[in-house]
Amino acid sequence: MLLPSLLLAYAFLLYSPTVLSCQWAIPLENDAGILYRFTPASSDETEELLAWAELREWDLWQIGHSHVDIYFPRPAVAEVELGLLPSHLPPTASHHINRSTPSCMLADRVKHASSPIVNEGRRWDVVSPSNATFHSQYHPLDEINSFARDLADAYPHQVSIIPLGHSSEGREMFALEITSGASAAHVSHDQNSQVVLNKKGKQSGAKPHCGFLITGAQHAREWVASASALYIAHALLADSSEEFSLSRLLGQYNFYIVPVPNPDGYLYTWTQDRFWYKNRLQLGPEARCVGIDMNRNWGYKWKTKSNSLHKSGPEDPCSHWYPGNRPFQAPEVNNMENYFSRLPHLKGFLDLRSYGQMLSTPFSYSCKKDPKDAEDQLEAISGAAHAVKKTHGTIFSTGALCSTLYRAPGNIVDWVYKKMRVKYSFAAHLRDTGTYGFALPEQWIRPVGEESARMVEYLADFIGEKECR
């Protein structure tokens, strides 16, 4: 028999306003933008370049220690725009990035709008993540929902689908709760609870499991982050004989995974703009732009400055980094905050992102302050980076978020660390380092998933030794 939470979850996954069948659009000959890399000679030159990017509303993809990546969707426009730059700020490398978006068929959505939807789509092979075709390609929202249902069907005593609330455009958000099965019916959402209840609601003598929280792509275009979150979920359920199985971790942990924290933005990257960044919140009846940067909308050290990359950056709702006019303004962020705050015994948190191949600790809001737990945090991610390298040879850099990326107040990692007091809170920017950026080819999905599984395995073991005995 299905758990009540699963029955409720089925309802929202079936009725969520989402695309029901999608196919890739045929790329046009000129359907490619250009990603430029700049290597400023000093911090002053970096600030100058960022000021130009802000003024001209260029699409900044990444800011690293020694480089800045800027994407232009149309080569002809790029030539004109870059011609405005002073001669001491030339790009040092460039390459084309396909900006084709999938072409999605909306007819089925209308067809089933007022009638129950039978799960008549593809039934995914969920027995083995190593053999599952699901992890060989990116998926639109309906296929992700279908995969979540299939996991819950195949492992009803281990997987619960938890509704989190509605997105800005009314889509249901969900989390996957994955346990050993023995604890599936008694996950307590009371952070103060120190006991474990059995199926009859009576106290059990077992020690409470630790909790490990994982989030997929808050930024809509970071597809590989959500793909990796789903791979990790699958690996947690895989037979222990499989190479990348994480099932042994369920003897010590309950896992809470939000694979698609930004469903509206994610869907928009399939139907309209492959490289859309924010959510799709309508900011007002006369607002000329849409959306909030969800990863600047968390309530720790939140600031109204929309662009903290450049010191004089104005508050601009059209900026990729617009943090909203108050913390937790984004319904998606508010839903996750409400859910996370009820999770018991959380000891680990990993925010999956792309791109850059970086493992990062708090803080994001300041480059001048270090967490009191910095030494232990850095030890944990250094070991995790080594575990990733042993998997497929991929090298991850490590450090504090502010130093590995840039200063960004209102970040989820800072909030989980300070407000939820989860000592081991990290961000992982997955592959690559800029060759493909956010358009990482599908053949890398599985290797990135395997690396992410090894990363989680190492972190869970490290945290378990220190926090879960």
Residue 14 has pLDDT above 50, yes or no: no
Output the pLDDT for position 469: 85
Residue that wins the pLDDT comparison between 362 and 182: 362
**Of 264, 247, 20, which is closest to residue 142 (Cα–Cα)?**
20
Residue that wins the pLDDT comparison between 64 and 326: 326
CB 20 within 8 A of CB 142: yes
Output the pLDDT for position 20: 37
* Encoded tokens for 211: 């909790």
pLDDT tens digits along 28-51: 445 689 999 999 999 999 999 999
Output the pLDDT for position 113: 30
Output the pLDDT for position 122: 53
pLDDT tens digits along 178-212: 999 975 444 545 444 443 444 444 445 568 999 99
**Of 412, 137, 420, 144, which is closest to residue 259 (Cα–Cα)?**
144
Share of the chain above pLDDT 90, in %: 74
Q: What are the E-state strand segments in 287-374?
A: 346-354, 358-361
Cα 13 from Cα 144, distance rounded (Å): 10
pTM: 0.88
Residue that wins the pLDDT comparison between 190 and 459: 459
Whether the bond between 355 and the residue before it is cis, its omega within 30 degrees of 0, is yes
| DSSP codes joined into one string, 120-132 | -SPPP--S-TTT-
Output the pLDDT for position 4: 46
Residue 464 has pLDDT above 50, yes or no: yes
Residue 328 has pLDDT above 90, yes or no: yes
Cα 459 from Cα 426, distance rounded (Å): 10
Residue 126 has pLDDT above 60, yes or no: yes
Output the pLDDT for position 432: 97
Output the pLDDT for position 116: 31
| CB atoms closer than 10 angstroms to residue 387 | 20
pLDDT tens digits along 88-124: 999 999 999 987 755 443 334 323 333 332 344 557 8
362-374 mean pLDDT = 96
10-22 mean pLDDT = 44
| CB atoms closer than 10 angstroms to residue 221 | 23
295-324 mean pLDDT = 78
Cα 37 from Cα 436, distance rounded (Å): 12
On average, the pLDDT of the chain sits at: 86
pLDDT tens digits along 53-95: 988 989 999 998 899 999 999 999 999 999 999 999 999 999 9
